[in-house]
């Protein structure tokens, strides 16, 4: 389905991003990985994508909190692959704290990584997409792009901002074959959520098991975590011809959380 396309997936060395990169490779797209982690494990992932799916796969360790690093990553993608056809802005981080105690440095980090990085990748990817009259930009939102939770001021602010960026991008690219959408998962069991469970337990004076059952899954009527494979399948669908008329949408995959 995506043979000949190149997908850049940020934050793709683990969790949701890794699953999306793997699924897009399975659909025939060349893939550029991005993220942190053990160099040998990342290389094994990159080489495995090439071997298993007969595509080209690259890697950039760019620090997405720095605009100049993002510019370097996008230039590298253009040189090695001719440009980015599918951009998945997935990289993110979380910190849990009451607003009055929220560390300013943590606020700045979350806004930079979860929101500003998507602006920079998008502004640099759009010219190529418009010139090809085809492009897909998938921003990883959250149920927190639609609703708030206590102690997550920076994350909620960033995800709401990402929703606005997505809609604006969708309008600007609409007549050029570019589609931009926001995927809004509920709680997906990833390393990010594992860390969030521990932080929330500390902030609320609860056990981690209580956080899982009484805080996280309490929000999801299905009482089940969303899986990374479900999110990856949704992302692949949004890159398919069947999704050509889906543009600027906030698309929930949250077990009914935001239906309440």
CATH number at residue 60: 3.40.50.720
Q: Where do we find the tokens 């960026």?
A: 165
Which two three-digit tokens encode residue 46? 């990159």
How far is 1 from 255, CA to CA, in rounded Å?
A: 28
The answer to the question of residue 13 being in a domain is: yes
- Domain membership of residue 241 (yes or no) is yes
250 by DSSP, 3-state: which?
Answer: strand
What pLDDT was estimated at residue 193? 77
Phi/psi for 27 (5° steps) reads -85, 0
Q: Is 95 within the bounds of a domain? A: yes
Asked if residue 196 belongs to a domain, the reply is no
Q: Count of domains in the chain?
A: 1
- Secondary structure class of 139 (helix, strand, coil): strand
Q: Is 210 a domain residue? A: no
187: annotated active-site residue: no
Chunked into runs of 10 residues, the chain (260 residues) has average pLDDT values of 97 97 98 97 98 98 98 98 98 95 98 98 98 98 96 97 98 98 93 80 90 87 94 98 98 96
d(CA 186, CA 167): 20
Q: Is 202 inside any structural domain?
A: no
Q: Which of 59, 107, 155, 225 is catalytic?
A: 155
In a domain, 56, yes or no: yes
Entry pTM: 0.93
DSSP string, 61-105: ---TTSHHHHHHHHHHHHHHHSS-SEEEE---------GGG--HH
- pLDDT recorded at residue 199: 85
Question: Whole domain around residue 173: which residue ranges?
Answer: 6-186+227-259
Is residue 191, in this structure, part of any structural domain at all? no
């Amino acid at each position: 389905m995506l043979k000949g396309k190149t997908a850049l997936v940020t934050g793709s060395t683990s969790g949701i991003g890794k699953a999306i990169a793997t699924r897009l490779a399975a659909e025939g797209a060349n893939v550029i990985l991005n993220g942190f982690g053990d160099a040998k494990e990342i290389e094994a992932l990159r080489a495995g994508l090439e071997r298993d799916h007969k595509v080209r796969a690259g890697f950039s360790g760019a620090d997405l909190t720095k605009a100049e690093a993002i510019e370097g990553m996008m230039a590298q993608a253009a040189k090695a692959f001719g440009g980015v056809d599918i951009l998945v802005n997935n990289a993110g981080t979380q910190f849990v704290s009451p607003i009055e105690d929220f560390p300013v440095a943590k606020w700045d980090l979350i806004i930079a990584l979860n929101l500003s990085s998507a602006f920079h990748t998008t502004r640099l990817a759009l010219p190529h997409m418009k010139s090809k009259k085809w492009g897909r930009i998938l921003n990883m939102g959250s149920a927190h792009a639609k609703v708030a939770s206590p102690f997550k001021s920076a994350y909620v602010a960033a995800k709401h901002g990402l929703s606005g960026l997505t809609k604006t991008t969708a309008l600007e690219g609409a007549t050029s074959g570019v589609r931009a959408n926001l995927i809004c998962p509920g709680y997906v069991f990833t390393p990010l959520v594992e860390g969030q469970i521990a932080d929330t337990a500390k902030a609320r004076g609860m056990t981690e098991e209580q956080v899982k059952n009484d805080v996280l899954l309490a929000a999801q009527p299905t009482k089940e975590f969303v899986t990374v494979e479900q999110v990856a399948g949704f992302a692949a669908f949004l890159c398919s011809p069947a999704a050509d008329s889906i543009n600027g949408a906030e698309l929930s995959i949250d077990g009914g959380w935001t239906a309440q």
